[in-house]
Amino acid sequence: MEFIDLQSVNRGLAVPLPKCDVCIVGSGPAGSTIAQELSNTGLRVIILESGGFERHPSMDALNEVENVGRPRAPDQWSVRNRIVGGSSHTWGGRCATFDEIDFERRSWVSQSGWPIEFGELVPYFDRSAKHLGLAIGSGFTDESFWEFAGKKPPANEVDPALLLPFFWQFSRDRAEAYPFEYMRFGRHLTQNLGSNVTLLTGATASRVLVDANQWAQCIEFITLDGCRHMLDAQTIVLCAGGIENARLLLNSASGDRGGLGNGYDQVGRYLMDHLRGPVGSFDLAGSKSLQRRFGRYNVSGHLFRAGLRLSPEIQRQEGLLNSAVWLGETLAPDDPWEALRRFAGRNPDLPRDTVNLIKNAPLLFRGLNDYFGARNGFPRKLQELTLECICEQMPDPDSRVTLSEQRDHLGMRLPRVDWHSHPDESRTMWRTAEFVSDEFARLGLPTPRLAEWVRDRAPIPSSFVDVAHPTGTTRMSTTPTKGVVDRNCEVHGVAGVYVAGSSVFPTAGHCNPTQMIVAMAIRLADHIKAVTRTAATSTVAAHAG
Ligand SMILES: Cc1cc2nc3c(=O)[nH]c(=O)nc-3n(C[C@H](O)[C@H](O)[C@H](O)COP(=O)(O)OP(=O)(O)OC[C@H]3O[C@@H](n4cnc5c(N)ncnc54)[C@H](O)[C@@H]3O)c2cc1C
């Protein structure tokens, strides 16, 4: 793999760019996965990455937004990382596949329904395991987890007409010394790519240009010194994240057209994220059984977390969105496992960590027994135990990204974000919390004290900001009047320009998006390989003829 760093001012112009067949914009989980899948093929691939290998204030500044809607995270670094590897640099590693109902057309969820089916993605979920460092890629999120884990399911299961078991799996980078380090896509990128791939860092894509027939022609990018460069490419894949993918298409306007692929004013619409936060809390005293049942499970060195999701039946019956719950743990300042982790990393906070270890020795012994005997995660010392809920958002065309009049320091217009929340999201969170409370009471488990806003059936608090899952802004649709990309993730009406990432999801489900992003990136890489092979074969045939 060739690596060219264009970050240093004035170096940009001096570097001759290699030729390329496929240009990938962004090296987060989507872009890195596609690059790896295209590695060691006959295709010449260039990755344009705006950031570098280290965080830099001038790169962070390129992620600024103008927010005019619902309150959002004020610090963009907490939700979007402009760096090689993208937001996997700071992500939480939680993976799961969407539920089958997420792909269905649901009469009570406007604009729901995907052009592709759940079953079509299963082989890609399986292949995503390698990229994400998962034990298995599919079939672990429901009750089949118990068989896979070699464990007995709980005897007193929740009522499946209301709630179903749900399991998340944590990504694991086995190359790292710390056993529970997540896969960070930038870390091993250069080793994982073949000689047909070139990575350009400090290269911020600004516009995609097409020819008169609406075929991809080239991409413009800007280096930190403000110089603009053109890279010819007949296949361009935008993998810049849920906000930036829309920003790039909108910024690629030419003449009186309001952006590339935007003939029907769809680019940037349907912005979703997840509403996530506490809907109740538990007394710590007497909560051990609950913590054990809805805790972490260690299966052959891979961690899983147990929770519950709303059943499809109750979603249909009450017209609810999809949602899930799990136990939220706030660690006590003297949690001994944190102290042990610091010792393992040769970075202890002496003498505080030594005192913590001695003081909490019984918890450590119980933890070792749990971990090696019962194969559960380590029990932690907590100061608070909450019921956390994550809720799907309603696709809303007025919740959207447009271009602001304000510009960043490279001269690009900022994304203007007008993010909305729908009343059905509040209703879904109240009902989910109520079902959990009633079911726990019926099963003799500790019941949560519901949060005041849930008890009062008030709207979701404004403290529930976006959680780094920007979704839907270049949604997949069968027709260009309803979305931006087709079932192959190619922009409607524009040949050779593709989009990858959660911006293509028509609906957001309750699930953290990255496993879906990686699975769909593999699917797109397969498609690109197939169409470029067909194009190469027809060129050879034409020459022969
Ligand atoms: C703190 C945190 C915790 C998270 N936890 C989880 C979790 O537990 N589970 C989960 O599933 N997800 C989680 N996420 C979200 C997850 O990180 C994203 O879903 C994932 O990184 C998206 O991948 P992507 O490749 O589509 O986009 P990104 O990761 O956003 O990557 C986009 C890349 O494009 C580059 N770029 C942007 N604009 C341009 C441009 N104009 N030109 C060139 N390059 C550009 C960026 O620098 C970046 O490298 C978390 C995110 C954060 C920030």
- Ligand 1 centroid–CA 192 distance in Å is 19
What's the pLDDT at 366?
74
Tell me which of 87, 125, 207, 503 to substitute to probe ligand 1's pocket, judged by most ligand atoms within 8 Å of the beta carbon. Answer: 87
CA-wise closest residue to 529 among 31, 35, 26: 35
Helices (H), 116-227: 118-132, 144-149, 189-192
Q: Is 224 in the pocket of ligand 1 (CB under 6 A)?
A: no
Any idea of the CA torsion for 454, 456, 458, 463, to the nearest 10 degrees? -50
Which protein residue's CA is at the shortest distance from atom 53 of ligand 1? 79
Domain with 111 in it: 1-133+178-272+398-420+467-545
Determine the Cα–Cα distance for residues 124 and 120; give it in Å rounded to an integer.
8
User: Which strands, in side-by-side order, build the sheet including 228-232?
Assistant: 204-210, 216-222, 228-232
**Is residue 525 a contact partner of residue 34, using CB atoms and an 8 Å limit?**
yes
**Is residue 223 a contact partner of residue 229, using CB atoms and an 8 Å limit?**
yes
Residue 311 domain-assigned?
no
Residue 375 domain-assigned?
no
Residue 523 domain-assigned?
yes
Structure tokens at 377: 């995660």
Q: Are strands 413-418 and 66-67 parallel, antiparallel or unpaired?
A: parallel
The label of the residue with tokens 């997840």 reads 274
Tally the C-alpha atoms within 13 A of residue 491's C-alpha that lie toward its C-beta.
31
Tens digit of pLDDT for each residue in 106-126?
999 999 999 999 999 999 999
Determine the Cα–Cα distance for residues 238 and 358; give it in Å rounded to an integer.
52
**Is residue 4 a contact partner of residue 200, using CB atoms and an 8 Å limit?**
yes
Single pTM value for the model: 0.94
CATH of the domain at 254: 3.50.50.60
- Ligand 1 centroid–CA 20 distance in Å is 24
Is pLDDT at 539 greater than 60 in this prediction?
Answer: no
Q: Is 205 in the pocket of ligand 1 (CB under 6 A)?
A: yes
Which protein residue's CA is at the shortest distance from atom 38 of ligand 1? 240
138-154 mean pLDDT: 95
| SS3 per-residue string spanning 419-457 | CCCCHHHHHHHHHHHHHHHHHHHHHCCCCCEECHHHHCC
Residue 141 domain-assigned?
no
Q: Is 520 in the pocket of ligand 1 (CB under 6 A)?
A: no
Please identify, by atom number, the ligand 1 atom nearest to the C-alpha of residue 30.
Answer: 25
Tell me which of 75, 91, 276, 515 to substitute to probe ligand 1's pocket, judged by most ligand atoms within 8 Å of the beta carbon. Answer: 91
Which protein residue's CA is at the shortest distance from atom 48 of ligand 1? 86
Residue 290 domain-assigned?
no
CA-wise closest residue to 419 among 466, 482, 476, 483: 466
Is pLDDT at 256 greater than 70 in this prediction?
Answer: no
CB atoms within 10 A of CB 148: 14
Strand partners, 306: 167
Query: What mean pLDDT, rounded, does the chain reach?
Result: 93
Residue 299 domain-assigned?
no
Domain count across the chain: 1
Q: What percent of the chain has pLDDT over 70?
A: 94
400-425 mean pLDDT: 98
Residue 412 domain-assigned?
yes
Residue 344 Cα distances to 118, 333, 338, 340, angstroms: 42, 18, 10, 6
Q: What percent of the chain has pLDDT over 90?
A: 82
Tens digit of pLDDT for each residue in 315-342?
999 999 999 999 999 988 888 877 877 8
Please identify, by atom number, the ligand 1 atom nearest to the C-alpha of residue 412.
Answer: 41
Helix (H, G, I), strand (E, B) or coil at 371: helix
Helix (H, G, I), strand (E, B) or coil at 520: helix
CA-wise closest residue to 113 among 391, 524, 475, 390: 475
Residue 338 domain-assigned?
no
DSSP conformation letters of 450-479: E-HHHHTTPPPPTT----S--B-TT-B-SS
Structure tokens at 112: 């729901």
Return the minimum-mean-pLDDT range out of 207-216, 251-260, 474-483: 251-260
